[in-house]
Structure formats: structure tokens, C-alpha cells
């Protein structure tokens, strides 16, 4: 490491120690002895910090949670073919914004737009760096200083405490809430329309459900209202499925194609049910899309060349009839319960033969798509439940075991419940099983 960078790290660690001393977190051996600073420990902290910076914070982890689109773990795992296709593009120059047929400057996402038109039937499309950015762009370009009508039952909060009302206001629009949390009628929208109305916004409840005494305005009637008043109807679909989830035995999730029938614009994510990298996709009427594309905020939100390449390669996969068999998101969801049960039994037996301080058992568990999609739906799965032997449990716990697995390289992410550690095998590959087995064996020897 460069000397000036190493000097910065040394000063950082020393300053942290000074703070500990100031706040009384470093104590002397007795009231009459001076403070004893462990120089070797300081050196060790500097070296550890140096190693972590050189190695980088992002690393491979093994997902034992059973959550396919785990936001904390990077959401959708990408198909290997995507990485193979873009590798050559990222190590040299590319035709990102040049039209090779005439040498003129081109639009970086033109191929993505063509693919989206073919796949969804939209007139035009534009892409930005995530779905919140898509909402922000629509608000800023189509409704700045004007009212956006939204049902109170659809004012969602997405991951990281980002709330839809805040994004709407940040985009310069005026939020106009109608209806109640559980019941919103078409008449509520009709009564709210005025000469200050810029658009009607619908938000698919992709991360929660409202049950019981409920009512929602019909999408077909809302579209008719928008057409009669000359007001665009925009839907934030969130999850962005292009495929029918019911073939996997799950409740049907509205697809982009279906939603476009009753909306002028549809916004959705690239790294959820679409199965790709982070992106916000906006599809719909050409006139509205062109207004978004020409807006100055678009340039600040557009995709970089890496995500352009990844998204284009992903959407090309959707042209294939066997697309569901080619995307990890759907491959993982489609693994049969029996196949997972057989793997869980085999792994638990192997572990019980190796471990002395833990006991393991195969057990049914519930997986999920996650990532703010398909609320209240689970996928039957199997995994391994691991407990601490009675005598050993006095000095350790499954929470400590969970911490030790996270500290392993690669890190193993598990769940804990009722003094038991759970590893759901749905998102665990066969090679990952060997790593889990070895990691638990090493930890067992230290308990």
C-alpha cells in the first residue's frame, strides 16, 4: 500500500483509540497505574483495515435464507451467460453511443428499447438506474408543479425507508390523496380531477396486501377516465414480471404486458422478478416516453455502460421460449420440494457424522421470492436445522454460530428460530453444500 494511504489508516486507528480513552472505554489496570496501550493490537487493527480495503467489501456469500431476491444479498442472481456476453465489452471500447452504420452519435439504450417493444408491445421505452429514479423522472418531466392523484391505499414504502409520497414530492409534483386506506372508488378519482391534475398514478402493492373490507378503482375504468379528461394514467408496477408466476404454483402477479393495456406508462424494476441487474424501466406511449427522454433529469439518472450491457443481454434471453429455465430467479423457484428434501436429508446425515458439538436434522421450511415481491406467498422448501448440544449450549448459542458462519469466507448467511439455526437449501448450490459442511466442521472443532 502507498505510504500516504497507510499513514492515513494509522492516524485513523490512533484517533479511534484517543476517542476510546476520552470516553473512558480504555481502562488502567488499577486506579494508580497509567493507561496501558496495546501497541501490538493497534498494529493488528491497522493491518486488518489495510487487508479489508485491498480485498474490497463486496464478496461472495452463500444464501441459506431461502429468499431468492434478498435485497441485502444483491437481489437477483445473474445468469452466467450475461457475464460472458459483457466481459469483452467491459475490458475495451464499445459501440455504446455510436451508430456503426453511419458514424453518428446514437442513443445508448436503443437496443433495449427495441427489445422492450417486442416483449411488452409498448410504443417506446426508456431506462434509468432504478425504479425510484423512474418515478422521480416521471414526476419531474410530466407533473412538475401540478397534482398527481394517488389512492391512499397505494402510498407504499419501499426498501431503505424510501416512501413513494416523498419521491413524488421530490420530483416536484403535488401529491393529491384520494379514497381511504382500504377503499378507493372510481368516483374518488373523478371528484379529484381538476385543471391542475397532471396524471393519475396507480401503484401495485407488490410488497404488501390489504385484505378484508376493501375496494379498488377498476383499471379499465381509470383508463377511460384518463382518456376522457386528457390525463395520462401511469402505473408503478414495482416487481416487473414479464412471465406468469402461476406456472410455478404461485398466485398470479400482474405482468407488464397486462398492465400496459390499461396504462399510458408502466414503471418497473430490473433486479426483481425480471431477474437482472439494477435498473428502472419505463414503457408506454411514445409521446410520453419522448418527453422523459428529452428531460434534463434523464441524463442524471440514465444507466452506465455495464448495466446497459447486462440489461440488453437479459432481455435478449426473454426472446427464447425456454427463458424460465435459463434465469436463476426462476430456476431456484422451480426446484421441487422433493429434490430439496433429498438434499437436506443427505447433508444433515453427513453433518451428523462429522459434528460432535452440534446436532442436525432435515426439516421442511418456507422459501420466498422476497425483494418486495409476491407478498404473503411462500414456496415449500427443505433445509437443515442445526442445534447446539446440551453441554456446549451453556457457553455458546445459535446466534454465536450464525455470527461465526457470517465471518467465514465465503460468508454463509442463515436464519435463526427457537434456539435453532436454519439453512434453507433452495438458494444453495451443490458446491456450496461442501463449503457449508467444511465451515461447520471447523467451527465445531472450536466449540
131-170, pLDDT tens digit by residue?
999 999 999 999 999 999 999 998 888 766 678 899 999 9
* Segment 380-413, tens digit of pLDDT: 999 999 999 887 766 678 889 999 999 999 999 9
Nine-digit cell string for 272: 426483481
| Helix 3-22, helix 39-55: angle, nearest 10 | 130
Calculate what percentage of the chain has a pLDDT beyond 70: 95
For the domain spanning 61-72+332-446, the CATH number is 3.90.1150.180
CATH 1.10.10.10 assigned to domain 80-326? The reply is no
pLDDT band at 286 (very low <50, low <70, confident <90, very high): very high
Within the chain, all domains assigned CATH 3.90.1150.180 are found at 61-72+332-446
Average pLDDT, integer, range 25-41: 63
Helix (H), strand (E), coil (C) string for 301-366: HECCHHHHHHHHHHHHHCCCCCHHHHCHHHHHHHCCHHHHHHHHHHHHHHHHHHCCCEEEEEEEEE
Per-residue model confidence (pLDDT) at position 33? 52
User: Pick from 224, 162, 171: which is nearest to 193 by CA?
Assistant: 224
Average pLDDT, integer, range 8-19: 90
Within the chain, all domains assigned CATH 3.40.640.10 are found at 80-326
pTM across the whole model: 0.90
When the pLDDT of each residue in the chain is averaged and rounded to a whole number, the result is: 91
Nine-digit cell string for 55: 480485498
User: Pick from 240, 281, 270: which is nearest to 135 by CA?
Assistant: 281
Q: H-helix or E-strand containing 192?
A: helix 186-192
Average pLDDT, integer, range 6-31: 78
Amino acid at each position: 500500500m502507498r505510504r500516504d494511504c497507510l499513514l492515513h489508516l494509522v492516524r485513523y486507528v490512533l484517533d479511534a483509540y484517543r476517542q476510546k480513552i476520552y470516553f473512558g472505554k480504555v481502562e488502567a489496570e488499577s486506579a494508580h497505574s497509567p493507561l496501558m496501550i496495546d501497541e501490538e493490537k493497534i498494529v493488528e487493527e491497522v493491518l486488518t483495515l489495510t487487508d479489508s480495503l485491498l480485498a474490497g467489501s463486496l464478496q461472495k456469500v452463500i444464501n441459506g435464507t431461502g429468499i431468492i431476491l434478498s435485497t441485502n444479498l444483491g437481489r437477483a442472481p445473474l445468469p452466467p451467460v450475461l457475464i460472458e456476453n459483457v466481459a469483452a465489452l467491459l475490458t475495451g471500447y464499445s459501440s455504446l453511443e455510436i451508430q456503426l452504420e453511419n458514424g453518428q452519435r446514437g442513443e445508448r439504450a436503443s437496443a433495449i428499447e427495441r427489445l422492450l417493444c417486442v416483449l411488452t408491445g409498448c410504443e417506446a421505452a426508456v431506462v434509468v438506474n432504478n425504479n425510484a429514479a423512474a418515478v422521480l423522472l416521471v414526476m419531474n418531466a410530466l407533473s412538475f408543479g401540478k397534482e398527481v392523484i394517488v389512492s391512499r391505499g397505494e402510498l407504499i414504502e419501499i426498501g431503505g425507508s424510501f416512501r413513494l409520497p416523498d419521491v413524488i414530492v421530490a420530483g416536484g409534483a403535488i401529491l393529491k390523496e384520494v379514497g381511504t386506506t382500504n377503499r378507493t372508488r372510481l368516483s374518488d378519482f373523478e371528484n379529484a380531477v381538476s385543471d391542475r391534475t397532471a396524471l393519475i398514478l396507480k401503484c401495485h402493492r407488490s410488497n404488501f396486501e390489504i385484505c378484508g373490507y376493501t375496494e379498488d378503482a377498476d383499471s379499465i375504468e381509470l383508463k377511460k377516465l384518463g382518456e376522457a379528461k386528457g390525463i395520462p394514467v401511469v402505473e408503478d408496477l414495482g416487481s416487473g414480471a414479464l412471465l406468469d408466476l402461476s406456472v410455478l404454483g404461485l398466485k398470479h402477479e400482474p405482468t407488464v404486458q397486462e398492465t400496459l393495456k390499461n396504462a399510458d406508462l408502466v414503471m418497473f424494476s430490473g433486479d426483481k422478478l425480471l431477474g437482472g441487474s439494477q435498473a428502472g424501466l419505463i414503457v408506454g406511449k411514445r409521446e410520453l416516453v419522448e418527453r422523459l427522454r428529452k428531460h434534463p433529469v434523464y441524463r442524471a439518472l440514465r444507466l452506465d455502460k455495464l448495466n446497459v450491457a447486462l440489461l440488453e443481454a437479459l432481455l435478449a434471453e426473454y426472446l427464447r421460449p425456454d427463458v424460465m429455465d435459463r434465469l436463476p430467479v426462476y430456476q431456484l423457484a422451480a426446484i421441487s420440494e422433493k429434490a430439496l428434501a433429498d438434499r437436506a436429508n443427505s447433508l444433515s446425515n453427513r453433518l451428523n457424522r462429522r459434528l460432535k458439538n452440534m446436532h442436525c436434522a432435515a426439516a421442511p421450511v418456507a422459501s420466498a421470492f422476497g425483494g418486495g415481491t409476491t407478498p404473503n406467498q411462500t414456496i415449500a422448501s427443505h433445509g437443515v436445522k442445526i442445534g447446539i448440544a446440551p453441554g456446549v449450549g451453556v457457553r455458546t448459542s445459535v446466534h454465536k454460530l450464525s455470527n461465526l458462519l457470517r465471518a467465514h469466507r465465503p460468508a454463509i448467511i442463515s436464519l435463526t428460530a427457537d434456539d435453532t439455526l436454519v439453512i434453507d437449501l433452495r438458494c444453495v448450490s451443490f458446491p456450496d453444500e461442501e463449503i457449508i459442511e467444511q465451515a461447520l466442521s471447523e467451527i465445531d472443532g472450536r466449540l
